């Protein structure tokens, strides 16, 4: 059934891919972004499409609009960006959630929250399951994002309990692919851009900390399945790739796949940086029939091609 769907943060990395997917599925999409980290280039191919509408708006202010579903993706998601203005980051997570939940309550529509594996903090259990409460520093430099997202989850579940609002909460693990910002400080974009430029690849810590990398197309499929799941499945649901790699392994793979002569440089580990991060996706497999299908090498190839094109155009210099 054709729906009108609001995507906040729709010009961002994940949001723009979700716009593409929902347009392809035949829906009308209203993309909202304030361009703090989103970019018009990510959705410029959709401008002029009869089922696509673009609004410049900051979700910390109320939005009055008529839609059938809401995906709330608005929030800077990389440490460089969310630590640039930590107060605004917390406001985006908390005030943004309040405003979008209020809109969903008025419209009596289903709403999706893009939460994060950062709610688990520096986890003391491995891999992480949805019933784990996390190990989070509430007053550190990453807290604006970690605690902001935790508070947003609290709000979603209180609206579900108090107002019977239909909610869907996804906890997103490391995701990569085309349209990542070249300067966002995330490990995949950092390593690929440095390798393409032939610069030393910067590893924080000894490189033995682990991450799990999910290609963006796989993640968006998980979003759509969770949003379309029965009302009773509120989440939170882990969405990510359980394949675990050390940071050093990723750096070496980036060098190999780009044919780069880059060397490895080691710097101190930032405060509160998680040492392990791997999703347990049993719930997503069981309830959504979802699991990632794109191998790391295949996803990296697409990502490298994207950044190579950006560099050749001078956009990632």
**pTM of the complete model beyond 0.85:** yes
* Residues in the chain, overall count: 317
Q: Provide the pLDDT confidence category of residue 280 given band limits of 50, 70 and 90.
A: very high
Inter-axis angle of helices 13-24 and 216-227, to 10 degrees?
60
The active-site residue, picked from 71, 82, 120, 145, is: 145
3-state DSSP assignment of residue 29: strand
Which pLDDT tens digit goes with each residue over 37-84?
A: 999 999 999 999 999 999 999 999 999 999 999 999 999 876 777 788
Q: Domain-by-domain residue ranges, the chain?
A: 4-175+216-242+278-294
C-alpha to C-alpha distance for 227 and 245, rounded to whole angstroms:
29
Three-class secondary structure of residue 168 per DSSP: strand
Q: Phi, psi (5° rounding) for residue 115? A: -90, -165
Annotated active-site residue 306? The verdict is no
Confidence (pLDDT) at 222: 98
Q: How confident is the model at residue 316 (pLDDT cuts 50, 70, 90)?
A: low
Tell me the torsion sign for CA atoms 42, 305, 188, 213: positive
Report angle CA 109, 176, 277 to the nearest 5 degrees: 90
Stretch 190-210: mean pLDDT:
94
Is 4-175+216-242+278-294 a CATH 3.60.15.10 domain? Answer: no
DSSP string, 185-230: --HHHHHHHHHHHTPPEEEETTS--EEE-EEHHHHHHHHHHHHTS-
Distance CA 219, CA 239 (A): 7
User: Do 159 and 169 touch, CB atoms closer than 8 A?
Assistant: no
Q: Give residue-wise pLDDT tens across range 1-22.
A: 999 999 999 999 999 999 999 9
């Amino acid at each position: 059934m054709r729906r009108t769907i609001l995507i906040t943060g729709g010009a961002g990395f994940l949001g723009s891919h979700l716009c593409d997917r929902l347009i392809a599925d035949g829906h009308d999409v209203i993309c909202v972004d304030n361009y703090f980290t989103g970019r018009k280039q990510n959705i410029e191919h959709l401008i002029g499409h009869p089922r696509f509408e673009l609004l410049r708006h900051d979700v910390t202010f109320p939005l009055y609009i008529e839609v059938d579903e809401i995906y709330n993706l608005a929030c800077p998601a990389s440490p460089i960006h969310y630590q640039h203005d930590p107060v605004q980051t917390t406001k985006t997570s908390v005030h943004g959630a309040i405003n979008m939940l209020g809109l969903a309550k008025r419209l009596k529509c289903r709403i999706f929250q893009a939460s994060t594996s950062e709610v688990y903090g520096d986890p003391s259990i491995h891999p992480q399951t949805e019933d784990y409460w996390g190990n989070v520093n509430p007053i550190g430099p990453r807290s604006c994002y970690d605690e902001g997202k935790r508070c947003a989850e609290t709000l979603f579940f209180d609206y579900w309990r108090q107002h019977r609002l239909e909610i869907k909460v996804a906890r997103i693990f490391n995701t990569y692919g085309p349209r990542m910002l070249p300067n966002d400080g995330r490990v995949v974009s950092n390593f690929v851009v440095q390798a393409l430029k032939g610069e030393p690849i910067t590893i924080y810590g000894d490189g033995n900390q682990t991450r799990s990398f999910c290609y963006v197309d796989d993640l968006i499929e998980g979003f759509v399945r969770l949003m379309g799941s029965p009302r009773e499945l509120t989440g939170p649901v882990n969405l990510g790739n359980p394949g675990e790699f050390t940071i050093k392994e990723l750096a070496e793979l980036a060098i190999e796949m780009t044919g780069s002569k880059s060397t490895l440089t080691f710097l101190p580990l930032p405060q509160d940086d998680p040492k392990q991060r791997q999703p347990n996706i049993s719930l997503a497999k069981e309830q959504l029939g979802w699991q990632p299908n794109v191998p790391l090498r295949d996803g990296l190839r697409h990502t490298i091609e994207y950044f190579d094109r950006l560099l050749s155009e001078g956009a990632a210099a």
